[in-house]
Amino acid sequence: MTMMTGILGSALALAIASAIPVNGKDEPTRSGELTMTPTIRPDAKAYLDALVKQPRPPMNAPTIAMIRKIPPEQLAVMMSQSEVEVPALAVDRKLTMPGPGGAIDLRLFDARQERSPGPVLVFYHGGGFVVGSIATHAALAAEMARQLDIPVVSVEYRLAPEHKWPAAPDDAEAAARWIAANGAAMGREVTGLVLSGDSAGGTLTLVTALALRDKPASVPVELLVALYPMADASKPYPSMAAFSNGYGLDSADSQFYGEAYAPDVNSPRHSALLADLKGLPPTVLATAALDPLRDGGRAFVCALAKAGVSVSYYEAEGNIHGFATFRRAIPSAQRDLDHILSLAKAMLGRNEAAGEASRSKP
């Protein structure tokens, strides 16, 4: 149990860690040059120090085989060492839908037993496209439902290495389309979609948005909320080297995830930054300052702005990749999540107000 908790605490949510190299301390190197020591929060540092003291097995095929033998609910219990409990909601219900590769499990979270017609948030969990599940990310999905006051449907998409790319984006797109068209199955009248996810799920958020822009679902996508996504795998960014080891998402694990998932890194269905971004919905994108994926996220935000897309950006200073699912181990991460969701709620409110104004015109 102790060993597996170490595996899941770091790898399950894609090795969860990140923070900003700003406001750091300049220190001279042996050659006399100045280098920047990144600022890291005390609770994030304590979490990373604990990972050093309790080394976990490397992410490889035997480790994944071991994880696959553990029931999803047990994995969620093991993650409770780093993540908060799932908040109690009026609705927490399992569903199933047909998918491209077979049935796809879904889980509906809603703070209200009944509600008026409105948008539904489609949530994709993180885990490097290799690990993670609805159960491991239930607390995050439920918190989104509570704070945004909208139904959230979490998606159990297929994982690598058993199902390589593009199985995950195929399932993600199919789920969004099914949810848009099947509100009755959830007891909800769906008027729009919010696409969201963390880490690998953030990547699926971006690529699914592109797919639904080019071939719309039965209701429009109103907002994207992407937490520390991999926005561009086609080339290296400085943050990949700066935070490649010791910040939770180590380069060896990232390499394994990439080999297991085997995507075309030059395809917009994996590297969304390579696409024409014009016409995407308003977007909230969050990164962490000590995250290898940080600079790709920054580049994507800049590209969105240049494409004329309304975008809000939040960078969690002193925090690490995966902070949204480490709120017990890194308590200050709750404030980051609160801020991100406040941005999302504000943007969603503006979108709804604009839509109502447009509909009221003669």
Rounded Cα gap, residues 176 and 207, in angstroms: 12
Catalytic annotation, pick one of 154, 199, 254, 271: 199
Residue 159, CA distances (Å) to 97, 190, 328, 336 in order: 17, 28, 26, 28
Using the CB atoms, write b or e for 52-72: b if 16+ within 10 Å: eeeebeebeeebbeebeeeee
Closest CA to 223 of 124, 123, 351, 67: 351
Report the C-alpha gap between 343 and 316 in whole angstroms: 14
The answer to whether the CB of 242 falls within 8 A of the CB of 21 is: yes
Specify whether 10 is catalytic. Answer: no
Q: CA-CA distance, 76 to 137, in Å (whole number)?
A: 8
Sequence-ordered strand ranges (E) for 150-267 = 152-155, 190-198, 221-227
Distance from C-alpha of 306 to C-alpha of 80, rounded to nearest angstrom: 41
Q: What are phi and psi of 175, to 5 degrees?
A: -65, -45
* Encoded tokens for 148: 């945004």
- The beta-strand segments (E) located in the chain are 25-28, 34-37, 91-99, 102-110, 118-124, 152-155, 190-198, 221-227, 283-288, 311-316
Q: How far apart are CA 255 and CA 240, in angstroms?
A: 12
Q: Which residues pair with 223 in a beta bridge?
A: 194
Annotated active-site positions, please?
199
